[in-house]
Amino acid sequence: MIREAAEGDVEVLIELINELARFERSADSVMIDRDLLHAALFDGSPNVFTHVAEEDGNILGMAIWFLNFSTWTGRNGIYLEDLYVRPEARGRGVGLALISELASIAHRSGYGRVEWSVLDWNEEALRFYRSLGAVAMDEWTGYRLAGPALADLAGRGPSRRMI
């Protein structure tokens, strides 16, 4: 069963996020905790959403996503931040069910696309996404500004010429 995450799922979602980080060889990068995730998903007007795959009361996987916007199409889209299925549940259609739910949300909401990133060494995921008809955006290179570089740039403030 695919359903929206509930407040009682936060602990399991934190477990899944940490499992995903270990799989992606980035366990030391995880800073999220129960309070941060709860606030992102359930406080005020959330702008992050999560669906879970559940079987017999056990959460087998998750899709964490948010809305983005295309200036070219003039429509929102879904950005899939994390799709993770526990190893013991893989090959059973759980990932397909989760991403199909996002496609359904996008389609009925009039959104233009569902997008995500995948590590170039994750051959299993690459094969799965290709099997869905997804197209790699090879001509685009993702960039990230974080940590000290983010703080440094933020400290520069606006250019005097712009004021």
Burial 76-87 (b: 16+ CB within 10 A, else e): bbbbbebbbbbe
- CA distance linking residue 78 with residue 67, whole number of Å: 5
**Radius of gyration for the chain, computed over Cα atoms and rounded to the nearest angstrom:** 18
79: annotated active-site residue: no
From the candidates 84, 111, 129, 143, which is the catalytic residue? 129
Q: What is the CA angle 103-73-113, rounded to 5?
A: 15
Report, as residue numbers or ranges, the catalytic residues. 129
